[in-house]
Amino acid sequence: MLVTITDKVTMDKIVSLAKRRGFVFPASEIYGGIANTYDYGHYGVLLKNNVKGQWWKALLQERDDVVALDSAIIQHPRTWEASGHLAGFTDPLIDCRVCKRRFRADKLEDAVCGQKPSKQPGQGPDCDLTDPREFNLMFKTQIGPVADDGSVAYLRPETAQGIFLNFKQYLQFSRKRPPFGIAQVGKSFRNEITPANFIFRTREFEQMEMEFFVPPDEAEEWHKYWCQTRYDWYVKLGIRPDHLRLRPHDPDELSHYSSATSDVEYLYPGSMDWGELEGIANRGNFDLTQHAEHSRQNLEYVDPSGARYLPHVIEPAGGVDRAALAFLIDAYDEDEIEGETRTVLRLHPALAPVKVAVLPLVRKDGQPELAREIVAGLREQMQAEYDESGAIGKRYRRQDEIGTPWAVTVDHRSLEDQTVTVRDRDSLTQERIPISQLPGELAKRLATPWRSPKLNA
C-alpha cells in the first residue's frame, strides 16, 4: 500500500460523530437493536438525498442518453430463476453442534469459536462442525394470505434485474436506442450472515445502479468510459484521488458472465483498508439472454439498418450508504482554532446537509429578529439553519461539525448598515457583504466548482 491516511480520522470517530449529531445510528435501539441495521437521522437524510440528487443529476439531467426507472422491490419470482439468484446466490454455511453458532465456510479464518474466542471454529477441543450447506441470501416472503408454494416471493437482492425485465418496454416508449442507459435508485436486501463495518455492509441497503445497453462491438470501449466517468464523479464531489483507485478484478474474481469488472475502491481508515464503493461490470448479454429464454420473448434490438442483436451491458452499480460513508470519512478533519481542537466536515457544498447557518452575534438588540428575517429569505433557495443558543464560537463549531460551508453572522453593525459577515468553514475568512446581496453571493458560491482544501495540504 503506497498511500497512507494522514488524517486524524478513524472509524470510531465517524461512528461517534454520526450518532452524536444524528447522521446515522443503530435502529430499534429501544428494543435492544436489530443486528447491523441502521436508521438515518436528520443530517443523514439530507446528506443521502444530496448524494442521490447528484447521481441523478450526473446521469439524467446532464446527459441525454440515460433514462430512469423505479421498479418494485417484490418482482415476479421467476425473475430470480432467470437471473440465477435462486440457484446460485448462496453462502456456504457451517454449524457447530456444540456452541450452536453458524459460520461462513469460506470465511472460517475470520470467525471465532463460540466457546474459545481465541480459536477459530473447528480448533476448539469441543467443536463439532457440520459439512457446509448452501443458504440462499434472498429474503423470502409470501404474497397473498395463503402460505403455499405458489405465493412465495423474494425481496430483490439487487435493483439491476428490474431494469432487464423492462428493457423491451423501454425500447418502445423511451425513444432511446443503444447506446443508452436505464438507471435506478432503491433499496435491496441480502440476508448476509456477516454484515459488518457500520453502514459498509448491511442487510438492507440502497443502490444506485445503471444498465447501459450497447452494440456488442462497443462494449469494451464503453466499459472503459464508464469506469473513468464514475471514478471522476467521486473526485468531483470531493474524494481525494489518492484515496480512490480503479481496481480491475483478477480473472478468478470475475463472475462467470462478466468479461471485465473494475471496482472504484476507497481507502477506508484502519483495518478496513481498500473497500468497494462501486463496481463497473461488463456483463455481456448474459442477463438479456437469460430473460429471453425464461420468458420466451425476443429481447433483440433491431437497429435502423435492420441488424438484430442482444445488446451488451455495462453496469455501474454503486451503494448510496457506502458513498455517504466515504464522503463523511474523507471530509472528516480536525484542526486547531484559538488553542482548541475543532472537528470539521470538509464536505463538498453540494453534499453538505445544511448550506448556510444564520447566527445573531448576541441574543438582543434586534439581532435575532434580523437574523430570522434573513434565514426566512434564504429558505426558499436552500437548506438553512438559525441558531441563537450559546457563544458564537460554539455555534460555529456546531456547524463545522456537520459540514455547513457558510455561516452568516448578524452583529450590531448589521442593524446600522444592513451588512452581515459570511464566514467560510474551510478558509475561516469572514467577508462583509450587504444583506441584499446575500442570496446572489451564496448562489454564486454554490455554483463555483469546489476543490477540497485538503488537496492543498
Cα–Cα distance for residue pair 112/114, rounded to 1 Å: 6
Nearest approach, Cβ of 268 to its own copies (angstroms)?
Answer: 23
Binders in 315-354 for its own copies, by CB under 8 A: none
Cα–Cα distance for residue pair 444/97, rounded to 1 Å: 65
Is position 304 an interface residue for its own copies (rule: CB under 8 A)?
no
Backbone angles phi, psi at 214, to 5 degrees: -135, 155
Is position 46 an interface residue for its own copies (rule: CB under 8 A)?
yes
Query: From the list 2, 62, 364, 429, which residue makes contact with its own copies (rule: CB under 8 A)?
Result: 62
Binders in 364-383 for its own copies, by CB under 8 A: 375, 379-380, 382-383
Is position 37 an interface residue for its own copies (rule: CB under 8 A)?
yes
Nearest approach, Cβ of 416 to its own copies (angstroms)?
Answer: 27
Query: From the list 3, 16, 35, 440, which residue makes contact with its own copies (rule: CB under 8 A)?
Result: 35
Q: How many chain residues bind its own copies (CB under 8 A)? A: 86
Which residue, 23 or 266, has its beta carbon nearer to its own copies? Answer: 23
Nearest approach, Cβ of 379 to its own copies (angstroms)?
Answer: 5
The separation between CA 437 and the C-alpha centre of its own chain, rounded to angstroms, equals 35
The single-letter DSSP state of residue 445 is H
Is position 15 an interface residue for its own copies (rule: CB under 8 A)?
no
Query: From the list 15, 68, 98, 392, which residue makes contact with its own copies (rule: CB under 8 A)?
Result: 68
Query: From the list 10, 229, 295, 419, which residue makes contact with its own copies (rule: CB under 8 A)?
Result: 295
Is position 120 an interface residue for its own copies (rule: CB under 8 A)?
no
Is position 72 an interface residue for its own copies (rule: CB under 8 A)?
yes
Query: From the list 78, 97, 412, 432, which residue makes contact with its own copies (rule: CB under 8 A)?
Result: 78
DSSP per position, 207-231: EEEEEEEE-GGGHHHHHHHHHHHHH
Is position 29 an interface residue for its own copies (rule: CB under 8 A)?
yes
For the chain, the C-alpha Rg in angstroms (whole number) is: 26
Nearest approach, Cβ of 14 to its own copies (angstroms)?
Answer: 16
Query: From the list 112, 193, 392, 446, which residue makes contact with its own copies (rule: CB under 8 A)?
Result: 193
Q: What cell does 306 get? A: 435492420
Q: What cell does 248 get? A: 480491475
Is position 48 an interface residue for its own copies (rule: CB under 8 A)?
yes
| Residue 154, SS3 per DSSP | strand
Nearest approach, Cβ of 40 to its own copies (angstroms)?
Answer: 4
Is position 49 an interface residue for its own copies (rule: CB under 8 A)?
yes
Reading across the β-sheet that carries 180-189, which strands appear in turn? 66-68, 180-189, 204-214, 312-319, 274-284, 260-267, 244-248
Q: What element of type H or E holds 79? A: helix 78-83
Is position 22 an interface residue for its own copies (rule: CB under 8 A)?
yes
Query: From the list 14, 94, 165, 407, which residue makes contact with its own copies (rule: CB under 8 A)?
Result: 165
Binding piece for its own copies, criterion CB under 8 A, among 107-115, 166-174, 341-349, 416-424:
166-174
DSSP per position, 373-429: HHHHHHHTTS-EEE--SS-HHHHHHHHHHHT--EEEEE-HHHHHHSEEEEEETTT--
Query: From the list 27, 86, 98, 433, which residue makes contact with its own copies (rule: CB under 8 A)?
Result: 27
Which residue, 142 or 430, has its beta carbon nearer to its own copies? Answer: 142
Is position 155 an interface residue for its own copies (rule: CB under 8 A)?
yes
Q: Which of 277, 348, 393, 270 is nearest to 15 (CA)?
A: 270
Q: What cell does 193 get? A: 450472515
Is position 229 an interface residue for its own copies (rule: CB under 8 A)?
no
Binders in 272-291 for its own copies, by CB under 8 A: 291
Which residues pair with residue 181 across a beta bridge?
66, 212
Neighbours of 362 (CB within 10 A): 13
| Residue 27, SS3 per DSSP | coil
